[in-house]
Amino acid sequence: MDDERGHEDSSHYESRIKYFQFSEPYSITGTTTQLLSNAGETTLATITLHHIRSNDRVVILASVGWQISATASITNPEIRFRIHRDGVPGTTVFDTIDSGSGLGRRFTTSLTHAETNISHGEHQYTLTAFIATGAAGDIAVTDPINLDGFVIDENESH
């Protein structure tokens, strides 16, 4: 790539996607799963990425629709999302909490995770959720749910 004066930029790197997989288990409107409070993680989606080398980068993108029950025990329950590598519990590579307010309201949470220095081979990534604050049934996972994974070839200088 050239800079504004037409000189080659020596810091430019190109990468290519060498493997991609996705899972969209809840792409049909109206699908829901009630979450249990602190009773363990509910698996929402799983993908397996192949052809990973230690210098490659893995990028995981996810989005989850969820709704606070109209009869929730509290008006602002919290939902915890995790991404695990190689099973549950496996290695937790992403962990976050989201919250919303208002009985009956719907929300969408988007997650992005990237990692390098992963052992060679194939790895499974699993998206899970559970209620962090609130009671069983306070939150339902709704549509959409998607989990996308990319294996990006190691950087090569051009």
Range of the domain at 32: 15-157
Give DSSP secondary structure letters for 30-67: T--EEPPBTS-PEEEEEEEEEEE-TTSEEEEEEEEEEE
Tell me: pLDDT of 27 over 60.
no
Average of per-residue pLDDT across 65-78:
90
Q: Structurally, how many domains does the chain consist of?
A: 1
- Beta strands of the chain (E only): which ranges? 13-14, 17-23, 33-34, 42-52, 57-68, 78-85, 91-99, 106-115, 121-133, 139-152, 156-157
What digits encode the pLDDT tens for the residues 29-43?
A: 556 777 766 678 999
54 Cα distance to chain centroid? 21
The per-residue pLDDT for 57 is: 92
Does 31 fall in a domain? yes
The per-residue pLDDT for 25 is: 74
The per-residue pLDDT for 110 is: 96
Tell me: pLDDT of 48 over 50.
yes
CATH code, 64: 2.60.120.660
* Residue corresponding to tokens 């990534």: 125
Average of per-residue pLDDT across 13-19:
71
